[in-house]
């Protein structure tokens, strides 16, 4: 095994393990991944001006989307609760909950997963359901947001990296995944609408916190650095992708990606996706990552934001997210590979 492959495997191991065991690394994930990306691309001998320009250019669309959507959210935040109160007078609560899950899931690819999850937190905080019902609703809604955000390269880092590495057009993921993701979002919304909901009792209430301009800018800057790091990582990991991943069967790739339940799915996308894959493999990789990413809190950005603001514990999230994710994985496996 040559030096480049050994170096890449060591870096990959560090990327997968250190965020789980080190709180400092977890808190500074973007900077850590950037450092690992530089090391990986240097080890592979691929760090040149072309890659640097690509790493600086690829994050711009999603960063601008996060920045603009963040400003709109800041300016319109005060109206979200009022709008919800008005809607509750004309729409039955279960129908309203289903509508929220469907709309946030479908528009997350436009307003970004980050903003969709912040809107979700505002709405959930205003509804005042029991803690258990709120937790279940948040888990399902974050699953829908995580799925929907993958439809465009501005929705979330996973889709940004996938489109960049495959060198595809803006609508590629809509064509590749849309027929599978959109019905899934709608089914999640309908299922949520049929679940019983109760008021009062203990509630998960977001901390009163002001949305500041500094916070909006810092959030966008962190997304820029995160995506730039993933571009470098993806290119640096090309030797191990070519040697170990491309030859794997699509069905095996689908189930292997259950590890994205505990690891950020955008990082795994950078480590796995290659333009040498055929579409069946690409679809299997992405669907496995997207669904598994909703099972536990660390798997996806919306989970981290919602759980942090609403103080949902990891054990509570797993109680709802793991059965939901396993059910979706099994259903999609049948649809993708057996039907």
- Residue 295 half-sphere exposure toward CB, CA atoms < 13 A: 22
Q: How confident is the model at residue 206 (pLDDT cuts 50, 70, 90)?
A: very low
Q: What is the pLDDT of residues 135-188, one digit of tens each?
A: 899 999 999 999 999 999 999 988 998 998 888 899 999 999 999 999 999 999
What is the chain's mean pLDDT, rounded? 84
Q: Give the pLDDT score at 102.
A: 95
Q: How many CB atoms within 10 Å of residue 92?
A: 10
The pTM for the full model equals 0.82
What DSSP assignment string belongs to 296-335?
SGGG-HHHHHHHHHHT--HHHHHHHHHHHHHHHHHHHHII
Beta bridge partners of 199: 129
Q: What is the pLDDT of residues 95-120, one digit of tens each?
A: 888 999 999 999 999 998 988 998 89
Residue 302 · residue 193 · CB < 8 Å: no
Long-range contacts of range 163-167, CB-CB < 8 Å, 24 or more positions apart? 164/54, 164/58, 164/231, 164/234, 165/234, 165/269, 165/270, 165/273, 165/274, 165/275, 166/273, 166/275, 166/282, 167/275
Which of 267 and 252 is assigned the larger pLDDT? 252
**Extents of the domains making up the chain:** 3-338
H/E stretch holding 33: helix 29-43
Closest CA to 310 of 142, 145, 146, 135: 135
Q: How many CB atoms within 10 Å of residue 9?
A: 16
Q: Give the pLDDT score at 223.
A: 85
Least confident of 125-129, 149-153, 332-336: 125-129
Q: What is the pLDDT of residues 290-305, one digit of tens each?
A: 999 888 887 888 888 8
């Amino acid at each position: 095994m040559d030096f480049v492959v050994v170096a890449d495997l060591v870096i990959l191991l560090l990327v997968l393990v250190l965020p789980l065991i080190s709180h400092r690394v977890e808190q500074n994930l973007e900077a850590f991944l950037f450092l690992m990306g530089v090391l990986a691309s240097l080890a592979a001998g691929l760090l040149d001006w072309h890659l640097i320009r690509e790493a600086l250019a690829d994050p711009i669309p999603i960063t601008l989307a996060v920045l603009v959507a963040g400003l709109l959210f800041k300016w319109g935040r005060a109206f979200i609760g009022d709008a919800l109160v008005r809607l509750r007078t004309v729409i039955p609560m279960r129908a309203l909950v289903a509508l929220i899950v469907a709309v946030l899931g479908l528009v997350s690819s436009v307003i970004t997963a980050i903003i969709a999850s912040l809107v979700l937190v505002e709405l959930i905080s205003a509804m005042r359901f029991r803690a258990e019902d709120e937790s279940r609703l948040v888990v399902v809604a974050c699953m829908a947001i995580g799925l929907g955000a993958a439809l465009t390269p501005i929705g979330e880092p996973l889709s940004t990296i996938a489109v960049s590495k495959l060198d595809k057009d803006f609508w590629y993921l809509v064509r590749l995944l849309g027929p599978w993701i959109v019905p899934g979002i709608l089914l999640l919304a309908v299922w949520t609408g049929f679940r019983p909901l109760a008021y009062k009792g203990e509630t998960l209430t977001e901390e009163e916190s002001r949305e500041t301009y500094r916070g909006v800018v810092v959030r966008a800057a962190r997304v820029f650095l995160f995506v730039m790091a993933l571009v470098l990582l993806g290119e640096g990991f090309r030797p191990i992708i070519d040697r170990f991943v491309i030859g794997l069967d699509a069905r095996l790739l689908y189930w292997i990606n259950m590890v994205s339940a505990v690891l950020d799915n955008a990082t795994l996308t950078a480590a796995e996706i290659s333009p040498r894959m055929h579409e069946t493999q690409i679809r299997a990789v992405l669907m496995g990552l997207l669904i598994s990413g909703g099972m536990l809190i660390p798997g996806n950005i919306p989970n981290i934001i919602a759980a942090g603001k609403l103080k949902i514990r990891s054990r509570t999230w797993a109680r709802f997210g793991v059965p939901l994710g396993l059910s979706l994985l099994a259903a999609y496996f049948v649809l993708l590979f057996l039907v």
